[in-house]
Amino acid sequence: MNEIDSLKQRIKELESLLEEERESYKLGLEKVKSENYEALEASQTRYQGELAIQRENFQRQIEKLKSKLQSFEV
User: What DSSP string describes the chain?
Assistant: --HHHHHHHHHHHHHHHHHHHHHHHHHHHHHHHHHHHHHHHHHHHHHHHHHHHHHHHHHHHHHHHHHHHHHHH-
What pLDDT, on a 0 to 100 scale, did the predictor assign at position 1?
65
The answer to whether residue 74 scores a pLDDT higher than 70 is: no
- Encode pLDDT of 26-69 as tens digits: 999 999 999 999 999 999 999 999 999 999 999 999 999 999 88
Residues 3, 23: Cα–Cα separation, whole Å? 30
What pLDDT is attached to residue 11? 95
**Better-predicted residue by pLDDT, 39 or 73:** 39
pLDDT at 73: 72
